[in-house]
Structures are given as C-alpha cells and as structure tokens.
C-alpha cells in the first residue's frame, strides 16, 4: 500500500524527487556519450526497468516472464552493449556506475507508476500486449520510441567521434 498524502502534494513530492535524481545522475553522466549499439542498449534498459516495475506493481509477472523468454537473445545482446558502455566510459568504475543507473531507472519508473495512479496498470498491460506481438528484432526500435526513453540522460556520440572509434581493419602483412 502506498501512502502519499493528498494527490497534489504526493505528485509534487514525486516530481521534486525525480528532479533531484535527474540532476545528480546528469552530473554523473556528464561528458559521456553512447555509440549507436550502446544507445540502443541504454534505451532497452530503460524499457526493461519500466516493465519490471509494471510486473511487480500490477501483478504482471507472467507477462514479464513471457517478455524475457521471447526477447532473451535480444536482451543478452543489449545487456552486453550496456556493460560495454560502462566499461568504455568508466573503466574499473563501470560496474558501480552501471548499478547507479539501474537503480535510478527503477526509481524513476516507480515514481511514474505512482504519478499515473489507477491508469498505470492498464497502460502497462497494453505495453505488454504490444511487445509480446512484436518480432524480437523490433525491440530496440520499440524501446527508442517510448516517451521515457531519455531517462538514462546519455547523449549519442557525435558522428565524428563514432567514426574515430570504428575498428580499422589491420593492414595486410607485407609479402617478402
């Protein structure tokens, strides 16, 4: 059971907390950018956080498990890219920074569930319906289309940075 006081006061407290979390996280991620595969992974993680909260808040565990089963290969791939983002940007501190973001995303998703009140569970049920009808290859595009996709606060890397990080194939060895 959630106790939030009056609806207006509760929403104001949630909005204030969300702003504080976003400000702190924005400072943590300042100066980082995501390559295209990393960005898709970050977007997918935002969606997954939303679905976990929906599963727990709306007794939708079976539907969440069906999502994980159907999209398991895509989730593993996106999970590797998610980890790579943190390793690339934070080196030995990557795991701690990743944990901070995952916690932040869960908190934001939970606050959204509170703010939406009675409309939250029906809305999330329709998200599960839509997702479970998708082909797994469509998961990153769906995640990128969600209204809260930028909760991770990570900007895409500029094209010139992306080009500089592309793997250059090695030159063939000279023939004697």
33-55 average pLDDT score? 96
The answer to whether position 22 is within a domain reads no
Report the C-alpha gap between 78 and 100 in whole angstroms. 18
52: containing domain: 35-151
Report the C-alpha gap between 30 and 166 in whole angstroms. 23
The answer to whether position 26 is within a domain reads no
The answer to whether position 88 is within a domain reads yes
The answer to whether position 67 is within a domain reads yes
The answer to whether position 163 is within a domain reads no
CB burial readout 6-42, b (16+ within 10 A) else e: eeeebbeebeeebeebeeebeeebeebbbbebbbbbb
Angle at CA 38, nearest 5°, toward 20 and 130? Answer: 80
Report the C-alpha gap between 111 and 42 in whole angstroms. 19
Instruction: Write down the pTM of the prediction.
Output: 0.76
The answer to whether position 13 is within a domain reads no
The answer to whether position 25 is within a domain reads no
The answer to whether position 6 is within a domain reads no
User: Residue 146, exposed/middle/buried by CB under 10 A (0-12, 13-18, 19+)?
Assistant: middle
Number of compact structural domains in the chain: 1
> What would the pLDDT profile of 99-158 be if each residue is shown by its tens digit?
999 999 999 999 999 999 999 999 999 999 999 999 999 999 999 999 999 999 999 988
38-53 average pLDDT score? 97
> What would the pLDDT profile of 75-86 be if each residue is shown by its tens digit?
999 999 999 999
Report the C-alpha gap between 86 and 98 in whole angstroms. 6
DSSP 72: H
């Amino acid at each position: 059971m959630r106790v939030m006081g009056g609806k207006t006061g509760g929403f104001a407290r949630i909005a204030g907390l969300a702003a504080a979390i976003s400000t702190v996280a924005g400072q943590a991620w300042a100066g980082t950018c995501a390559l295209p595969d990393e960005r898709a992974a970050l977007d997918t993680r935002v969606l997954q956080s939303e679905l976990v909260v929906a599963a727990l808040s709306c007794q939708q565990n079976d539907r969440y498990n069906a999502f994980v089963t159907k999209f398991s290969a895509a989730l593993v791939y996106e999970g590797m890219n998610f980890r790579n983002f943190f390793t690339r940007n934070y080196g030995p501190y990557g795991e701690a920074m990743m944990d901070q973001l995952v916690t932040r995303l869960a908190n934001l998703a939970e606050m959204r569930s509170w703010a939406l009140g009675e409309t939250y569970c029906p809305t999330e049920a329709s998200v599960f319906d839509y997702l479970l009808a998708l082909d797994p290859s469509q998961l990153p595009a769906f995640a990128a289309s969600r209204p809260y996709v930028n909760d991770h606060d990570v900007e895409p890397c500029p094209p010139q940075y992306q080009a500089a990080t592309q793997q250059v194939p090695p030159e063939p060895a000279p023939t004697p």
